[in-house]
A and B are shown apart, each in its own frame.
Chain A
């Protein structure tokens, strides 16, 4: 091998190392990993909590049916040694009287679940901080989990900033989108942004419109965050609000109602008016 090539390789290694350090250090990666970790924890905790409930039901089914919240249930089971420590649930249980050693293992399992729940909570706080620090505008219009998931989906925020809002709207719905492109089936209306608060609260037949509005504002917000880093949160939230107002106004108009009068309508108009040409 010629000397020149060896020198070249050295140069490559040095430069790549430097670039790599830089590329791995950007906050986008930490955000992507954090939000993915939260998602995986959620999934695992859900499955394990179901198991804990089933398992503990052998010993004390009354407690398992009474305590609905999974997180609280894991905490309580890990705290209490015996049935008799529950004061507000019947002591006359139909559950089997397990040996202390059997209960010990259930409690150890519950303990590790409780620990994971608190770890998840901490990660969520950490994610909020990360998002607030580097992606203020995205955070303001999308919230921490949705914004972070969008970034994670693209790999980094710069790539997300280069996407049109129509793509952002259906990010995460690739399966449906390609099915639509291949077979002409109905296109998806939303992907990751479905878990956005506004979209969750929107009326079912308006989710498409709301998704479009949210996506358009998100696309502006990311561009601001990536390219100018200015704080435009007020302007952007206002913009989103206005868009939603327009959608709301149109909906009322379509139903033949004046804005603001919806509450006072008679029972009769609660039913959807039949579509034109629809079945009688």
Chain B
């Protein structure tokens, strides 16, 4: 894990604030040495929850380019933007309501680019992302999660790039057991990705799983 961009403060994880003194979603600020850190709330951000539960694979670097599907209000995006200061985060979000928050956040951070499109329609933002990205992070609570991820990976992910998939079992099928669904999704991923890590997000999120995969075609 890269200590330079990801700090630990006690049990909590934290990132160095890109805009010192400014909060994004009401998180705690903490001075560590000369730099100000923003504590990363595991109840608000699934990536932080995965870190808390022992995520080992963490390919985010200073100059990483990230495609973030399902950016929502920009909670997690803000922390990734803290870490990848020299890279770029393309945040795709379809809901105008969430985008209003996200857009205002993006204005204050020069490495965040908001895109108001459905993650399912890759053609709509093909012209904006000409370069291949290093990481795709997907957190869309939709039934076709994996298909959307594959589509985007084919279009935008470079070879050997990483994917982070946050699966919400309840949005795939409410009736079956979450474990079965997770296994199915992992099997489904093998056509495109090598699944490296599986992290259950209990107790921060119920019936959620974080899958980390490597794009090897």
Contacts and interface: CB of A to CB of B under 8 A. Distances in A.
Interface of A: 1, 4-6, 8-9, 11-13, 15-17, 19-20, 23-24, 29, 155, 178, 181-182
A163 to B, nearest CB: 15
Q: Give the top 5 A-B pairs by smallest Cβ distance, nearest first.
A: A12-B113, A23-B96, A9-B113, A19-B116, A16-B114
Contacts of A178: 174
A16 to B, nearest CB: 5
Q: Which of B96, B99, B100, B131 has the most CB of A within 10 A?
A: B96
Interface in B65-113: 65, 86-88, 90, 95-96, 99-100, 103, 106-107, 110-113
A20 B128 contact: no
Contacts of A12: 90, 113-115, 128
Contacts of B86: 1
Given A8-B88, A19-B116, A20-B100, A13 B175 contact: no
Contacts, number: 60
B63 to A, nearest CB: 8
A8 B115 CA distance: 11
A17 B87 CA distance: 22
18 contacts: A1-B87, A1-B88, A5-B87, A5-B88, A5-B111, A8-B113, A8-B130, A12-B128, A13-B114, A15-B128, A16-B99, A16-B116, A20-B116, A23-B96, A23-B99, A155-B95, A178-B174, A182-B174
Given A19-B116, A23-B96, A23-B99, 16 more contacts: A1-B86, A1-B87, A1-B88, A4-B131, A5-B87, A5-B88, A6-B110, A8-B113, A8-B128, A9-B88, A9-B112, A11-B128, A13-B103, A20-B99, A20-B103, A20-B116
A203 B95 CA distance: 40
B interface residue count range (under 10 / 10 to 19 / 20 to 34 / 35 or more): 20 to 34
A185 to B, nearest CB: 13
Q: Which of B90, B115, B116, B129 has the most CB of A within 10 A?
A: B116
Contacts of B112: 9
Contacts of A5: 65, 87-88, 111
